[in-house]
Amino acid sequence: MHVFTSAESQDSTAHEQVVFCQDRQTGLKAIIGIYSTALGPALGGTRFFPYASEEDALRDVLDLSRGMAYKNAVAGLDLGGGKAVIWGDPERIKTEPLLRAYGRFVQSLGGRYYTACDVGTYVADMDVVARETRYVTGRSREHGGAGDSSILTAWGVFQGMRAAAEHTWGAPTLAGRRVGVSGLGKVGRVLVRHLLDDGAKVVATDVSEKAVEFVRQAYPQVDIVPDTTTLITSDIDVYAPCALGGALDDDTVPALRAKVVVGAANNQLAHPGIEKLLADRGVLYAPDYVVNAGGVIQVADEIEGFNFERAKLRASRIYETTRDILRLADADGVPPAVAADHLAERRMAEVGRLRSIHLN
């Protein structure tokens, strides 16, 4: 994922629209950020999180909405980039009235922004939000939605990993490779299954003992290590960060033994320059927002009436997209993260320009 400086993160002038929403009676405090609608309505999830300050919440929504514009562009979706944050502890303040109040603010934007699940919000929450707005995805299957988007997120990451393996070792398979998975949540555990089915050897870790125990019981052949430091310094071919952002920083990159990094986590590069540090060490990094786009592809499919096979086919194309970006990076002599950004920016500019051709 491209990384922005603190000045860029706080620059709301780059965004089309930033909306502050408040409903005192329910305790709702939310910010909706729309970075671009050049390709279509903005799509991005709603993060419910107890930020330390409003400034932190604003910084996050600006970063995340910009990132969604790039992700949706590279994924080939006719959708722009947006994101929303609700400021507060979901365990304490999340209620039906609060979610419905938030839904009314989304509706007030008239379709410029479609929301979905993110950290702190779930399918059931989207069903509640949808009682006040039609501009919501990530709904339950009972209500015509896609359900859990982690299924195709993991599938897309696996496809991106196949492309990286082909680029590095000449064959689009992880068979015989040792893959280290950090983060065994909803996406990580599904990715583990795909890797094992492909013939890979898997070593994994998670801070949650519950998540570790699930994998230990379901896949006893997986080697469990105590922490991420142990994981990245072990003898692995591929590192898959599938937990929090910032997984690749000044400490982890020099210690990394893997030759390839492909994971589901967002914002894996801790700061600008990490992509060059990886390249200088000969580590192939598949940009996070390219390979983890399966989830947004899945929820985007709801807009035209969800069909799982159609959505999976689209997510499978992450293999070709990743392959093309890695080749483009080699041809241009730039890191893959830079090549992906250029591809996204070009599509937003070239396709977005067509909006100047006015229709009756």
Q: Which residues are catalytically annotated?
A: 83
**359 backbone dihedrals φ, ψ, rounded to 5°:** -115, 150
Look at residues 76, 56, 247, 4 and name the one whose alpha carbon lies nearest to residue 35: 4
Look at residues 134, 144, 187 and name the one whose alpha carbon lies nearest to residue 305: 144
Residue 147: which region, alpha, beta or left (left: phi > 0; alpha: psi -120 to 50)?
left
How far apart are alpha carbons 44 and 34 in whole angstroms?
9
Look at residues 4, 13, 46, 44 and name the one whose alpha carbon lies nearest to residue 29: 46
284-285 vs 260-261, strand pairing mode = parallel
